[in-house]
Amino acid sequence: MPIIHAIVLGIVQGFSEFLPISSSGHLLLVPWLFGWDDFSGPNGESLKKSFDVALHLGTFFAVLGYFRHDVKVYVVEGTKLIFTRTKPTNTDGRLAWLFVLATVPAAAVGALFEDKIDTVLGTPFIIALSLIGFGLLLGWADRKTGRRKLEDFHAPDALKVGVAQALALNPGTSRSGITMTAARWVGFDRDAAVRISFIMSLPVIFGAVVFKMLSMVSDGGYEDLLIPMAVGIVTSFIAGLIAVWGTIKLVSTHSLMPFVIYRVTVGVLMLIILALGWRDNIAV
């Protein structure tokens, strides 16, 4: 794998993981558009998963680094439940367990339908439709007047946003996009919706990294990818930090409409490319 490919995909992963534009969709579309074939051959799928581990590891450290103070408080307060066996007595302890609860639907769906998701979804046509459809849904939800703050997050909200997050297993939906959509739909303001989405990503990304890492070690053959993987970790980490910081700054004064416009534009362009036959509509 050329280093330039690792750099480009690391940047794509870092930005698209936290901007509501779909990281999985972009990681499939970029190689498809440029005709890259880095993971061909009998071990191609295994090597692709190994590289995905590196990219997700970088974005995990990015969001963990940005919210390190918040995460420290959540861990300290949340783990008190384990030792005291009593209901959390403050907001931070309650939020910690609600963020864990919100990851259950996506984890369950992923475990049950991973093979079908990988084989049925992920074609350029489906990604294009998902970018457009879920982008418009994000725009609709963002028009609602939401005034709820992060401390207003409760169990029903965690389940609703968590169920929405499960839809992000479809490439093109966007994990951050669909969770922001759900949070805005149930009445949270933009800042709270973005923070809920980003903090919720920690257990999801961590779980994905652990699951794929176990598979990577079991399959083997990743040794030749160590340098590209290291480059992917660094670039996705830097891009992820910028994306988290930039999104939080943006929503303090602007709507999420720029992301809606971007999604619809990219989706329409992809459909045009497919219609003109510039690229075959095949899974990449």
Condensed to tens digits (0 to 9), the pLDDT of residues 55-68 reads 888 999 999 999 99
Phi, psi dihedrals of residue 144, rounded to the nearest 5°? -70, 145
Buried b (16+ CB within 10 A) or exposed e, 128-162: bebbbebbebbbebbeeebebebeebeeebbebbb
Q: Which residue has the tokens 């384990």?
A: 82
| pLDDT exceeds cutoff 90 at 268 | yes
Residue 241 confidence (pLDDT):
93
Q: For position 284, what pLDDT does the model report?
A: 40
Q: What is the pLDDT of residue 124?
A: 84
Measured in whole angstroms, how far is the alpha carbon of residue 161 from the centre of its chain?
A: 14
The pLDDT assigned to 282 comes to 44
Spatial distance between the Cα atoms of 174 and 165, rounded to a whole number of angstroms: 9
* Domain ranges (residues) in the chain: 3-276
pLDDT of 228-265, one tens digit each?
A: 889 999 999 999 999 999 988 888 788 889 999 999 99
pLDDT score at 136? 94
